[in-house]
Amino acid sequence: GHRGSPESYCAESVDERTFINARVPGEVHLDLLRQGRIEDPRVGTNALKARWVEEEYWIYRRTFVPPKEALTAHKAWLVFEGLDLAAEIYLNGQRIGTHANAFRPCRLEVSGLLREGENVLAIALDAGLHLAAEKPSLEYLPDYQALLHKRMWLRKPQYQFAWDWNPRLINVGIFRPVRLEWTDDVRLDQVTVYPELAEDRRRATIHVRLHLENVTNEPLQATLTVTVPEAGDARVTREVCLPPGPSTESLALEIREPKLWWPRPHGEQPLYRVTCEVAVGGKVVERVNRRTGIRSIRINQDPHPVEGRYFTLEVNGVPIFAKGGNWVPPDMIYADIDAARYRRLIDLAVKANFNMLRVWGGGLYADHTFLDLCDEAGIMVWHDLIFACSKYPAGDPEFLKEVRAEVTHVARELSPHPSLVVWCGNNELEWGTWDWGYDRGRAFPDYALYHHVFPCILKTEDPSRPYWPSSPYSPDHEHPNSPIVGDQHPWHVSILQNRENFWAYRQDVSRFPNEGGALGASSPATLRQFLPEDERYYLSPSWEYHDNEIAVRPEGLMIEAWFARWLGLEP
C-alpha cells in the first residue's frame, strides 16, 4: 500500500520503495499499525491523530501470473468482493473501472487485457470523502458532523462517521478477497434459495433461482440440477436454452415430512444442503453449495384486546417471545472481525438466552459467517437495510440505481439463511420524518424508497420473509414510535423523558421494543483495553472521547445524575 495520487502510482512501472506491505483482506489503519506508522486508533485518542488517513488516496499494487485457461477463455473478470470505498482499478497501467459501494462486489471484465507472464494490478482507494465533497448536505441532515462528511451520499458503514456508541474512524481498504474468474460458456452469478411451507406443515417446497450469464453470442443448451442430500437425495433436473447475456431459471423441490427449523428454545435447527450444478455438453461448468432451513415466518398484527395491535413473530405458526439485542459491528475497524470473534459473541448471546438479534441499519450487512452461526444456534435475525438516521438522496438517479443493485444483490446472497426472519427498510428514518426535520426539502423520494422501491425488490427476490418499512414504524398512521402499534425504540425510558430512572422500563408497554437501553460504563476489563493507564478515571480525555454522544448533546453526563440519584448523593 502507498499514500499518494492515483495516476502517478497506478502506472505499470513505479518506484515501489515508498510502499509498505499490506494484507488483503484488510484495512489501511491495520497495515499502518503493523508497520508502526500509527498507534492503535481504537485506543485512547489515537483516532484523532490518525484522522489524516481518511483524507488520503491509498494505492494497492501487486503482480500476478494468470493461468493459461484465463488467457484463452471467452470471458474473464477480476472480482473484488469488498472495496471501502471509492476505487479506481488499473490493469497493466490501464484504468479498467471504478466502484463506490462497500456493500456489493465489483466485477470488471478483463477479457483481452490479460497477458502472458506477469500482470500488474493497482487499486487506488479513498475513504469516500473526496467523492462526496461537492455533494449538497444541508437539505439532508443539519447535524454538524454530517456537514463534514456527508455520509448520506456514501454507500459504506455509516457508523464509521461517529455514533452515540463509537468515535469516528472512517475505514478505507480492500476488506474482502479479490479473485480472477473465467469461463467459455456459462457463469453462475448468484443463487436464491427460499422455502415455502404448506399450512399443514407436512409438505414443503424449496425454491431455487439460478441467476446465470451466457457469455457467448449464441443461445446455449445447458442442464441445471439441484440436489438436497438431507431430503433423501431429492433432485430436480431441467434442460434449458439460455439466451446470450443474463437470465434467471427457477427450479423447485418438494419435500415430504420436512424437518422444521425453530428458534431456540422452541425446537431444533435441522439444516438442508442445496447443491446447484450447471452442465454444458455433459460437463459441469459451475457448482455452488448453499445451506438452508425450512420454516414459515409471519408477523401477527391482530387487534389487541386493550388498544392498538399485537406485534408478534410467528414461526411455523407458533407465537415466539423474542428476546435479544441489537447487533452493531463489534469493532471500529470491521475488517478486523474474524470468525472466532463472531463465534464468541454468538456463544455469549446463547448463554444470555437470546433468541433474536437485530442487525442495526448503521453498520454493514451480515455475512455468511455470522448468519451460519445464527442458523445453527436458533437465533432469529431482524435485518435492517443499511440506511440510518438521515435523509438520503433517493431522488438522485445514480444513487437510486446503486442502492437498487445493492439491495438486489444482498437479498439474493442472504436468502438461504433460515435465521434471517425480517427485512426492514432502515433505522429511524420514519421517526426522523415525523420529529427530526427529515421532511425538509423534497421528502417524497426518500419515502418512496422504503415504501415502494425496496419492498418491490424484496417481494420479487426474497418472498419468504416479511418486510417492515422502518424501525420504529406504525402501519396505522400513528406516530412511528407509538407504544401500542408496530415496533418501538423506547429511548424515552432512559435518555429522553425518564433520564435517570432506568427502572421505568417496568412501566413500558411497547408491543415490540426493538432498540433501547441505558447508558453506562463498560466493564473494567474492557475499559483497560482502550483507556491508557494514566487515563483510567471518569471524564479523563480518553474517557470523554469514547463516551456516548448524540449530535451535540453529551449523553454520557447522565452517568453523573445516575450516581447522584441512586447513591443518595443528590444535593
Domain layout of the chain by residue ranges: 6-181, 185-292, 307-507, 524-567
Write down the pLDDT at residue 297: 98
Give me the tens of pLDDT residue by residue for the chain, a chain 571 residues long: 656 567 777 888 888 888 999 999 999 999 999 999 999 999 999 999 999 999 999 999 999 999 999 999 999 999 999 999 999 999 999 999 999 999 999 999 999 999 999 999 999 999 999 999 989 877 776 665 555 679 999 999 999 999 988 999 999 999 999 999 999 999 999 999 999 999 999 999 999 999 999 999 999 999 999 999 999 989 999 999 999 999 999 999 999 999 999 999 999 999 999 999 999 999 999 999 999 999 999 999 999 999 999 999 999 999 999 999 999 999 999 999 999 999 999 999 999 999 999 999 999 999 999 999 999 999 999 999 999 999 899 989 999 999 999 999 999 999 999 999 999 999 999 999 899 888 777 667 788 899 999 999 999 999 999 999 999 999 998 899 999 999 999 988 877 666 667 777 888 899 999 998 877 788 999 999 999 999 999 889 999 899 865 544 555 556 666 667 767 766 5
pLDDT at 552: 43
Upper half-sphere CA count for residue 434 (Cβ side, 13 Å) = 15
Q: What is the 3-state secondary structure (H, E, C) of 178-219?
A: EEEEEECCEEEEEEEEEEEECCCCCEEEEEEEEEEEECCCCC
Q: Are 271 and 258 in contact (CB under 8 A)?
A: no
The CA distance from 508 to 436, in Å, is 23
Crossing angle between the packed helical segments 454-461 and 397-414, to the nearest 10 degrees: 30
Q: Does domain 185-292 have CATH number 2.60.40.10?
A: yes
User: Residue 519: what pLDDT?
Assistant: 73
> In the CATH scheme, what architecture does the domain 307-507 have?
Alpha-Beta Barrel (3.20)
Closest CA to 543 of 517, 565, 521, 569: 521
Beta strands at 324-327 and 58-64: parallel, antiparallel or unpaired: unpaired
What CATH topology corresponds to 6-181? Jelly Rolls (2.60.120)
486, 304 contact by CB (below 8 A): no
Helix (H, G, I), strand (E, B) or coil at 153: helix
392 and 288 Cβ atoms separated by less than 8 Å: no
Indicate left, alpha or beta for 111 from its phi (over 0: left) and psi (-120 to 50: alpha): beta
Give, rounded to a whole angstrom, the gap between the first and last alpha carbons of the chain.
57
Nearest C-alpha neighbor of 386 from the set 448, 334, 328, 343: 328
Kindly state the cell numbers that stand for 1.
500500500
What local confidence, expressed as pLDDT, does residue 148 receive?
A: 67
Cell of 372: 451460519
Q: What is the pLDDT of residue 438?
A: 82
CA-closest candidate to residue 367, choices 401, 325, 334, 324: 334
Nearest-5° angle of CA 349, CA 352, CA 357? Answer: 40
Q: Which residues are bridge partners to 174 per DSSP?
A: 83
* Residue 407 contacts residue 457 (beta carbons within 8 Å): yes
- Whether the full predicted model's pTM is greater than 0.85, yes or no, is yes
Sequence-distant (6+) residues with CB within 8 A of 351 are none
Please compute, for residue 535, the number of CA atoms within 13 A of its CA located in the half-sphere on the CB side: 16
Distance separating alpha carbons of residues 343 and 369, to the nearest angstrom: 9
Over the range 89-124, which residues count as b (16 or more CB within 10 Å of their CB) and which as e? bbbbeeeebebbbbbbbbebebeeebeeeebbbbbb
Q: What is the pLDDT of residue 58?
A: 96
Residue 426 · residue 363 · CB < 8 Å: no
Given this model, what pLDDT does residue 540 score? 92
